[in-house]
Structure 1
């Protein structure tokens, strides 16, 4: 009997036979046998190679003494559970000690010990991890593209970019943008460790004020090239202070800074912080560069949109004149363009006096959102003003005249409009006479907070459909101190709500703002209704009459 056969016999109490010995010695997996006292009784050739110790040293030695790093690990817990329950166990785990890799472990308990089978599955795990990371990188690029191209507020999406790239590409991230005046500011930060997110946020708030010119961030901003450096080297450049202390607490090992380029200039950087032990592969770096390129294109779009929006808004506002100076009345007009760039449209307002001195206010909206709609709006606004001033007619007749002019001169134009005229009732009181062509109805806010929506939700047929359509007219008393509000549909329509819900919110906010000065009422209404993100153009005109008729002498109180 040879030495190996003796070892097997000692462990099992039986002579295994030459065939079994050859099988155990040539199997591609590590195999060993532990007795009831956790001592090695048999170690095959693969186990000897895997553990990098001769079997002559291992046989007879306690498992826990030979490999103390197993104590407290999943290996010990599984071995002891199998021994205590008598049930086989199978698990995969990374070895906690000096042995590198992942292992599939199978344990069979017996009355006199444990048989242990160990197969190195590192290659399979590496392949699975590589496939997983490749899938994650592809998904990341798709999400970044969707976020940056599909957001109405692209700058907010750029701020969230830091959260998107963690943890797929990095452990922590800060996104920096440079404005047109050359000022850099950090607009977003994130860390994969929730405990370090507040630290990262505070660091992003103050780091740019203290980073030296030789730092990776400053170099990338100046040269427009990628920079990779150890954080220890960065710390050596930084002066003592809160920023340096925060970076020490964050404890990254490496910083990779990639420039964001738009229109041939560096408009920001993205800083990727890697913890110790994390390796940024060539594939990760290439994906990060693609993310940076996508962000650069998004910034270029923001710049173009800002320029287009400024031009479009200037065009729109040039077509909307200030209301006239009036005695005995306050008139406030407001126009808010949509957040989407160059979304110039056909919303308009107007306020003017007819020949007899009656105040007329108009709100309208030409169908469409482009420069053609804005041009048509300007023409219709001028036509309506001319018809109303020359004819001195009431609101319904003015709408009929405008509808006929549209049919003859602008036959492809569709529009809605509401006209209101303030009249004296002959007894010192005020009347409001109005007509509505498919527009949101006027609203009357009494001094006591009572809100009345005048007429039906949509009024008569919109303009540009049938010039022979009947136009109705209504009259309602205007009590002292009351406010009349006309608005376009952008104030009440929402993509996530109904028109009825928008109108209900409008009336609620009007009640809450009762008693406010007229300009404050209008500004407060816009803030509450639009929530800072107008999805469509919004125009409104509000009138509050004092104790005298607007055609009587008095100091003007017109606001726009």
Structure 2
């Protein structure tokens, strides 16, 4: 990863390479960790680095520890670094393997940051971490994520053990704990090397020479029973020539009592079969210490084929076994389960945590084939991913569920090796349960939000409540029926059937929907007074759940087709929930599940209760809204009289209230005949939308009508007189208005024309649509002169008039601004849209009533923000005598 330097080369004294039996000898480093330097951290760092570079520490052991680190943490690389004025990589795997025994600048290393920090260094995304982002291993892309722990010797920090990868990852507390445990094993390995290095130089050379020269030799004469050992073998067993009598019984007595029977039995089998010996066991030295010995050899037969001699060698493997023991202690101390299998899928090791987790299957895993102990794993994701790792020689990580007897979710990491497969796994059942609960909560919140949106997104609340069945199925049931109570006042139980009706239903199975529809059509008259639906509607119970519903519900259902259709639904569990408004029941929900689904959970029932409450509030609000709307609209319409019906002119008027009850009272129209036979039409809009505006509108309308009839004045004169009268009558408001008068002389009538005279007090201009001879329609805005000020703003304003000739068949349209104004849209754009719509309707030949209705339908949104009034005029053709 971070180390640089030349290849490893043997160290020699005075340039002379040492060999014994033609084998190179690793010479000693003349290094003594005395008290003189014991407290010097720089000296300790340098000393440990020399132990490795001078080959006094077997880097194989450190490489195995880094390989174990990478496997257990699921990373591609791991290394051990000694940090002094330079970094020396003394063990590594993955990308770090090539840097072993090489040196690089300490300031370029992430391990230096770990040592300087003095505690574990965890870096999720190295490129974004200010502590390491600028270091060469990070900028080159070699290190994307990093976790390291410092190594201590003599109370001082000397280096670090780390694991890293190119890709970003999140480290857990367990990862850091595991890294610290392995770090202890690395420290022990380095300390052991330091202790050995403190021996005298001659002792070190002698030990290395003996080790390089081979191992102890033995020769057992099977005919005479004489056992001969060389000096190295005598030393391994703690004896000398005087104390060893050459008898096999003496050897047997030296073997550890726990291994003795195994060794004697193995020797007997080897001799009997003239086979090869490969046996590791413990011996107890005379002073009581235990030593591990690896014995290898072969039995040589005589001329008759009978075994005559067992010749071989022995090797001290105590350090290897102690290292393995340290690894085992690390694995046993792990807070997670770990096991390994060989290439035949037989268990070779399982730590205590794994034994505990897997005890439900077997307390003795060793030697058993994993697929035989865990048959449920065959064909599952466990087998698929384990075999994938072995075949691809790549590690795998996954989460999977194992059924009873384990009945648990596991997070699994598996690493292949030449020996087989190593597996780390963690019981994450509680975490998965928490995730599932979080997902269920999110789903519940999403459903409630969707229900709320559905109930508020449309003006027709009853239709929205009826659609609840499609929202609840299939998330909370297989089928659902929504029932509405039409009766406002409380009613007694015997007459409950007359006041309920089903307004929505749905079944997850399309083929069953006709059955559900027929059952809903028949059920209410057939249910008795003790039925679950009756109890929910009459308020005797807030939530009723019937298990074995095919029995319990049919017991309250009369015989006949309704019962048959119900049984065809195959219900197992049905929930009946009252839909409550403010102090009264306004409906009910019936939600059913079949035999393939479990009963409702408490959380699901709570969700249904919440949905029923929201639906009840929406229905109650809709009912109250409808009552208020009828009252407000009735008040408004009572002030708007029907138009006159003169022979030469067709008049149509429309009023559309706002979606909000409070938005009434502003817009108004009027149409009446003058004493000279002309027709007056008025459209206006009082500022404000409330009952005060409605009252002001009524006063202005009456005032304008009275002035117009009594004075006979034209539009400009009448509007001017209204301006003057408003302060006197204390009408404290402002309003826009267009007053138009249709006039026609006999000659004009004969010619098929009329005059339109109008005055505009700050109101949107009228429109005129004139059919052309070629079938097209000419639509224009009747602007005339610029609109004057609003009524009630300035007593001294001089009102103006404009006059236009209107051909027979033409349509004139007066309208309030609610027809053309929208949020985010310019008024001119709305008027242009109205022009196009009017032209299309006139071209289609629509009569005046149809034209008025279609204008409202096409121009208004589903929920109008304000009320709208319009007056449409069409000059009729004269009737021939």
Go from structure 1 to structure 2 and tell me whether the alpha carbon gap of 1:48 and 1:280 turns closer, same or farther (over 3 Å shift): farther
Task: Tell me what 2:349 maps to.
Answer: 42
Q: CA deviation at 1:315?
A: 0.6
Q: CA deviation at 1:243?
A: 5.9
CA contact (8 A) 1:213 1:219 kept: no
Could you tell me which runs of 5 or more consecutive residues in structure 2 were left unpaired when the two chains were aligned. 1-257, 264-278, 281-293, 295-319, 488-497
What SS class does the counterpart of residue 660 from structure 2 fall into?
coil
Equivalent positions of 1:93-172 (< 5 A) are 93-95=400-402, 99-134=406-441, 137=444, 153-155=460-462, 157-159=464-466, 161=468
When Rg is computed on C-alpha atoms for both structures, the one with the higher figure is: 2
Task: Tell me what 2:361 maps to.
Answer: 53
Go from structure 1 to structure 2 and tell me whether the alpha carbon gap of 1:303 and 1:452 turns closer, same or farther (over 3 Å shift): same
Task: Tell me what 2:252 maps to.
Answer: none
Task: Tell me what 2:588 maps to.
Answer: 269
Task: Tell me what 2:271 maps to.
Answer: none
Q: List per-residue Cα deviations over 1:267-320 (Å, max 9, x = no partner).
A: 122345568566755445334433322332222211111111111111111111
C-alpha separation in 2, matches of 1:450 and 1:71: 82
Task: Tell me what 1:221 maps to.
Answer: 537
Q: List per-residue Cα deviations over 1:125-145 (Å, max 9, x = no partner).
A: 223443454566567667766
Equivalent positions of 1:428-447 (< 5 A) are 428=749, 429-447=753-771
Q: List per-residue Cα deviations over 1:167-187 (Å, max 9, x = no partner).
A: 886787654433347242334
CA contact (8 A) 2:522 2:562 kept: no
Q: Work out the number of aligned pairs and report it.
A: 536
Q: List per-residue Cα deviations over 1:321-354 (Å, max 9, x = no partner).
A: 1112322222111112122235322211111111
What SS class does the counterpart of residue 258 from structure 1 fall into?
strand
CA contact (8 A) 1:481 1:544 kept: yes
Query: Is 1:508 aligned to residue 815 of structure 2?
Result: no
C-alpha separation in 2, matches of 1:246 and 1:495: 53
Task: Tell me what 1:558 maps to.
Answer: none
Task: Tell me what 1:336 maps to.
Answer: 656
Deviates more, 1:107-116 or 1:324-333: 324-333
C-alpha separation in 1, matches of 2:785 and 2:457: 33
Task: Tell me what 1:528 maps to.
Answer: 858
Go from structure 1 to structure 2 and tell me whether the alpha carbon gap of 1:54 and 1:282 turns closer, same or farther (over 3 Å shift): same
Task: Tell me what 1:29 maps to.
Answer: 336
Deviates more, 1:404-413 or 1:468-477: 404-413
Query: Is 1:78 aligned to residue 385 of structure 2?
Result: yes
Q: CA deviation at 1:482?
A: 1.0
Could you tell me which runs of 5 or more consecutive residues in structure 1 were left unpaired when the two chains were aligned. 555-560
CA contact (8 A) 1:70 1:96 kept: no
C-alpha separation in 2, matches of 1:356 and 1:309: 40
CA contact (8 A) 2:484 2:587 kept: yes
Q: List per-residue Cα deviations over 1:422-455 (Å, max 9, x = no partner).
A: 1126544211111111112111121342211111
C-alpha separation in 1, matches of 2:336 and 2:547: 41
Task: Tell me what 2:818 maps to.
Answer: 490
Deviates more, 1:479-488 or 1:262-271: 262-271
CA contact (8 A) 2:532 2:553 kept: no
Query: Is 1:480 aligned to residue 808 of structure 2?
Result: yes
CA contact (8 A) 1:152 1:340 kept: no
Ranked by relative contact order (alpha carbons within 8 Å, sequence separation 6 or more), the top structure is 1
Q: CA deviation at 1:366?
A: 1.1
C-alpha separation in 1, matches of 2:819 and 2:518: 39
C-alpha separation in 2, matches of 1:66 and 1:163: 47
Task: Tell me what 1:452 maps to.
Answer: 780
Go from structure 1 to structure 2 and tell me whether the alpha carbon gap of 1:222 and 1:539 turns closer, same or farther (over 3 Å shift): same
CA contact (8 A) 2:815 2:871 kept: yes
Deviates more, 1:24-33 or 1:502-511: 24-33
C-alpha separation in 2, matches of 1:518 and 1:468: 39
TM-score by length of 1: 0.83
Go from structure 1 to structure 2 and tell me whether the alpha carbon gap of 1:94 and 1:160 turns closer, same or farther (over 3 Å shift): farther
Query: Is 1:258 aligned to residue 566 of structure 2?
Result: no
